[in-house]
Amino acid sequence: PAYRVQHNNSRGAYKGGVRFHPEVNLEEVRALATMMSFKTAAVGLPLGGGKGGVSVNPKELNRDELEEVSRKFVRYLHPHIGPHQDVPAPDVNTDPLIIDWMVDEYSLLTGDTTRASFTGKSLDNGGSLGRNAATGRGGVIALAELLKSEGLSGKPVTIAVQGFGNVGAFFSEVAAGDYPHWKIVAASDSRATIYNPEGLNVLLASEYKAAGGGFSEYESDGVERLSGEKLLGMDVDVLVCAALGDAITADNMHDVRAKYIVELANGPVSEEAYRFLSKAGTIILPGIIANAGGVIVSYFEWQQNIQGEQWTEQEVNDKLAEYLQSAMDRLLETARAEQVDLNLAAYILALKELTENK
């Protein structure tokens, strides 16, 4: 079973990932497509919202079978997608190799040579520099704007990062490089939390994780190993949720001590936890903007393909910063004007864009 839901294209081509997972179903894909419409609108992209998926466990497939599934998905779908109609991208369990197969199949079927039919491609096949780090980097940019609005620009800030995978690691590396007064004091993976009140060496931790290590065996000067669930209760200024959805629920919401939460995963704070924490004064930076760096750089990749260009990584990063700083300005202004929290302000902002700027 395979799906593609096209939710809204009033602002531009449908945009959204394709996931390979045994639990993929129409209701999930429809909900995610709707969320993509809100996300692209909230950050001001001239794109709509879509989502796709195949109900399959890629871990049970060999390389040839994985390629066959990828190409067959495009064979069935190709009349309904294209550079100016619907531009899919990677999502759960899909990567540049799978997208490269899909682009090749689309090109064979249609004769398209722009490679703008999909984004998230390998660099050799029309992908964009800066794409791998984009979601993590975007979270840093959005958090910096939030802290500036709170009068904390240039002030020492302590941060705990839940989920030190691709997004969490890039967030930490960019934060450490661009904001030396920010201190990443804790990070967790699925097995353990590592903690150093003086600040972690995030580059060392990233290299360790990239080599296949787990934090339950991690050793470094000044680092204490704790259980994975300890991270959410850390006494820090900022909690970055970069792991899975529903990381903070009714079961652990009372443990959270951070003043600010950054949603880098999709839906890491449950509805009940969101209401409780908001009432308690916790400021939640919503994922609809905080984790939009990936789709923004996907848009840049599409632009480069259409124009036959290759931007430098610095150009991509500068343009990403412009988009997210502008989105954060609009978000904060909407929250002030409507006297609502940032999550509700993000949806107000998105709905205005969707209904007023057709």
Q: Express each pLDDT in 72-131 by its tens digit.
A: 999 999 999 999 999 999 988 899 999 999 999 999 999 999 999 999 999 999 999 999
User: What confidence tier does 165 reach under pLDDT thresholds 50, 70, 90?
Assistant: confident
Task: Give all strands of the β-sheet with 260-263 in edge-to-edge order.
Answer: 224-227, 192-195, 182-188, 157-162, 238-241, 260-263, 283-285
Q: Which residues contact 180 (CB under 8 A, 6 or more apart)?
A: none
pLDDT tens sequence across 333-350: 999 999 999 999 999 999
> Whose CA is closest to 189, among 170, 161, 210?
161
pLDDT for the residue numbered 191: 87
Q: Which residues contact 145 (CB under 8 A, 6 or more apart)?
A: 324, 325, 328, 329, 332
Report which DSSP code applies to 4: E
First and final C-alpha spacing in the chain: 33
Catalytic site includes residue 155: no
Asked if 287 and 34 touch (Cβ cutoff 8 Å), the reply is no
> In the predicted model, is pLDDT for residue 189 greater than 70?
yes
pLDDT for the residue numbered 190: 84
Pairwise CA distance, residues 357 & 349, whole Å = 12
The SS3 call for residue 297 is helix
Pairwise CA distance, residues 138 & 141, whole Å = 5
Beta strands per DSSP E along 250-327: 260-263, 283-285
> Whose CA is closest to 330, among 344, 317, 346?
346
Task: Quote the tokens at residue 261.
Answer: 């939460």
Pairwise CA distance, residues 263 & 249, whole Å = 14
pLDDT for the residue numbered 123: 95
- For residue 82, the cross-strand partners are 86
> In the predicted model, is pLDDT for residue 304 greater than 80?
yes
pLDDT for the residue numbered 358: 53
49-54 and 224-227 as β-strands: parallel, antiparallel, unpaired?
Answer: unpaired
Burial class (CB in 10 A: 0-12, 13-18, 19+), 198: exposed
Catalytic residue among 15, 39, 51, 209: 51
Burial class (CB in 10 A: 0-12, 13-18, 19+), 144: buried
> Whose CA is closest to 89, among 143, 32, 157?
32
pLDDT for the residue numbered 228: 77
- Mean of all residue pLDDT scores within the chain: 94
Report which DSSP code applies to 60: G
Cα separation values, 203 from 171, 172, 173, 228, 261, Å: 11, 8, 6, 20, 23
User: What confidence tier does 258 reach under pLDDT thresholds 50, 70, 90?
Assistant: very high
User: What confidence tier does 230 reach under pLDDT thresholds 50, 70, 90?
Assistant: confident
pTM of the model: 0.92
Provide φ and ψ at 92, rounded to 5°.
-60, 125
Task: Quote the tokens at residue 42.
Answer: 């909230």
